[in-house]
Amino acid sequence: MSTRLLAFSGSLRAESFNTRLAFLAADLAESKGAVVTRLKLQDLNLPMFDEDSEATSGLPAGAKELKDLMRAHDGFLIATPEYNGFMSGALKNAIDWATRPEEGHPPLDCFAGKTAGIMAASPGGLGGIRGLPMLRLLLSNIGMNVAGAQYGLSHASDALSEGPDKAVEEALTNVVTEVIRLASA
């Protein structure tokens, strides 16, 4: 049976470098036999997490959709922009909603025992790598296995404008290969 991966980014921007990076990783995963679903967080229309709102209105439809998608996959390919040394607020918000309890499902079942590959893209020279340790810690804290291989793409505008070069493909292939191996184990 093929490994099922969910690819998404923590960016809401229409021309996001991180969404492009996540979907490039998805292409590579498919070339290795994985079945990949591509998700754009903005399509979920998630409100900011608020327990008062959750108490009165329940889990928003977008959060339920996200949780269902996560449950249906063995692992995730996640790219995040780095803002001030951390992952994006949109990604943290989505994860917060996905960790909320839901009747008929065990706590954290969207994450427990699943594998994540993490990456970042930035127009700057560091490639968004300062935000990846925080994402790794968050995902580990909620029961995920985070692949040791990660990737930060610097100067993303140039690197993605004409398609990825061999070095970018090799680095992403390392992440994707490890995610598939761990998720299928």
Provide mean pLDDT across the span 129-150: 97
Q: Is the CB of residue 92 less than 8 Å from the CB of residue 49? A: no
Predicted local distance difference test score (pLDDT) of residue 55: 94
- Domain ranges in the chain? 4-184
pLDDT value at 165 more than 90: no
Q: Is the pLDDT of residue 15 over 80?
A: yes
Nearest Cα residue to 126 out of 106, 103, 155: 155
- In whole angstroms, what is the distance from residue 62 CA to residue 45 CA? 6
Class of the 4-184 domain?
alpha beta
| pLDDT over threshold 80, residue 1 | no
